[in-house]
Structure 1
Amino acid sequence: MASEKLTRATVLARALELADTEGLPAVTIRRLAQELGVTPMALYWHFKNKELLLIGLFDEVFAQVAVAADPAGPWDHRLRLMVEALLRTARRHPWISEISAEVDKRQAESFQRGTDLALRILAEAGFSPERAFQVATYLLNGVMGLVVADPCGPTGLPTEAAAEHRRLHRLELESLSPARYPALVAYARTLADEPDPETHYAFGLDLLLAGVRAMAPAQVG
């Protein structure tokens, strides 16, 4: 690809493909330059360093958290739609939690828009601006945690490797002393069953949002 045809969108599209197929560590200036057939300097016209590249990638992915909800609908319904959209995006691109911890998310325009929308919804529930921001952060981190704790195993592992990971985890817990760790040993027996990720995510979302509804001033006032 000639450098004069290189665009910011082209770079981000290839970076997204690399992250999805090989993981976030594969996304480097040098690797992208090789993939796009340009010199690393050509990429610096669009991203001055790797941090800005990752922020751009985060911005691109977070823009997918779009909610088509009736503005007149109940606040908790609209909040759930937004959190569900975030979860779909995080499951599709599980490395987003790594970027979220590495870069200043506030530099991503789509993240700022999403945060502002969440704060406005939470304000309708009666939360103060300070509490609304705290709740929005709790929901973001909670969704990321659900993806990290996927019952199928660590994200990015092939199916057979994930199954082996779960088997070893079960054996480790089963080897504990039942007298000392009765609850953990009982839990280990459940790991012999095939994991159900959809139940995991549905329960996790219900748990997160139930806490928000229970604490909402509009609910308890």
Structure 2
Amino acid sequence: MRSEDGTEPASARIAGELHRRIAVGELTPGDRLPSTRQLVREWGVAMATASKALAALRHEGLIETRPGVGTVVAARRVRRPGNPRSAALPHRGDTDAFRDRIVRTATAIADADGLAATTMRRIATELDVATMALYRHVRGKDHLVTLMADAAFAEHPLPVHSTANWRVRLELLCRTHWAMYRRHPWLAHVVSFTRPLLTPHAMAHTEWAMGAVADRGLDSTTLIHVAATVANFVRGTAVSLEREAEAEQDTGLTDDEWLREQHGILAAALRAGSFPILAGISARDDVNLTLDTLFEFGLQRMLDGLSALCDAR
């Protein structure tokens, strides 16, 4: 379809170029395609336009979304029959199962391309149904994101019984949450402590955290603050995970590669001698600062601080 002035829509031009790259072998099965963010930057289009271009290729069976990887060239082209908007809807008895499929599909998209790319239209395209069909099972994107978050907590259960002391239990909770945020980088931006997730699995984690220190003689206010502080420490560190993943997608550089590219700028700033401590650290090759090292260091210092409360009782 062309516009009134005869020009091809931007989404069609983007899809056509990606189709060409796949056809000539520039992109082979399993290769990652540019993310929607990269397409927005490269083509100067809106996020919706970039998403529409990828949706067209996805409907042709040329690309697929792989959890933890992103959008890749499909192993083999399988054209989907018919119009996705006329695809059969689930029977009434399959409603819960279909809602679970919606949540799993949305989560896979968010893991690969972020929440901004997780639109109802894209989810519908993945499921080969009309967009409005999704609203029979979820009230809207906010409701869907809540379901996605609860499903993420459900994937990371905590042991029902534990004889370990409070510190071991809280450390287990933190490591479980860190693994959860690493698997779902978008999740840290969804979790809030002023407006908490009032969902069964998220609340179970809070209950478990309080249970870890329930025998320490803490009053109710202190008890809930300990649980919130521990969970918020992990979340506060994890909010950088999505930005880190986006930066790597946008630049094609890992953090180490990016830092090496900035060496000249850093050296110039340190040459003046105004930052002697930073200069001394930058000259060493045994200093490593990453989100994982921040998590490990902060975790132990936080637990050290809580021992003043929990071991004193």
Q: Same fold per TM (> 0.5)?
A: yes
SS in 2 for 1:123: coil
The aligned residue for residue 258 of structure 2 is: 165
Structure 2 CA distance for partners of 1:172 and 1:70, relative to 1, 3 Å: farther
The 1:103/1:31 distance shift into structure 2, 3 A limit, reads farther
Which of 203, 212, 220 is residue 297 of structure 2 equivalent to? 203
Matched ranges for 1:77-96 at <5 A? 77-96=168-187
180-189 or 104-113, which moves further after superposition?
A: 180-189
Structure 2 residue aligned with 1:39: 130
Taking the TM superposition and a 5 Å limit, the aligned residue runs for 1:52-63 are 52-63=143-154
Q: TM-score, normalised by structure 1?
A: 0.82
What letter corresponds to residue 100 of structure 1 in structure 2?
Answer: V
Query: 1:101: how far off?
Result: 4.7
- Is the 1:106–1:112 Cα contact (8 Å) retained in structure 2? yes
Q: Select which of 266, 269, 273 maps to 1:176.
A: 269
Q: Structure 1 pair 51/149, CA: closer, same or farther in 2 (3 Å)? A: closer
Report the CA distance between 1:54 and its aligned residue.
Answer: 0.6
Q: TM-score, normalised by structure 2?
A: 0.60
CA distance in 2, matches of 1:78, 1:102: 21
Aligned residues: 217
In structure 2, what is the Cα distance between the partners aligned to 1:134 and 1:168?
42
Instruction: Give 1 or 2: higher helix fraction.
Output: 1
- Give, in angstroms, the shift of residue 212 of structure 1: 1.9
Aligned position for 2:308: 214
Q: What displacement does 1:176 show?
A: 2.6
Q: Does residue 276 of structure 2 align to residue 185 of structure 1?
A: no
Q: Which runs of 5+ in 1 are unaligned?
A: none
Residues 41-120 of structure 1 aligned to structure 2 (within 5 Å):
41-68=132-159, 70-101=161-192, 104-120=195-211
Which of the pair has the greater relative contact order for Cα pairs under 8 Å at 6+ separation?
1
Q: Distance in 1 between matches of 2:193 and 2:124?
A: 22
**1:106-139 Cα deviation digits (max 9, x unpaired):** 3322111111121122222333221222222222
Q: Structure 2 counterpart of 1:155, which letter?
A: A
Structure whose CA Rg is larger: 2
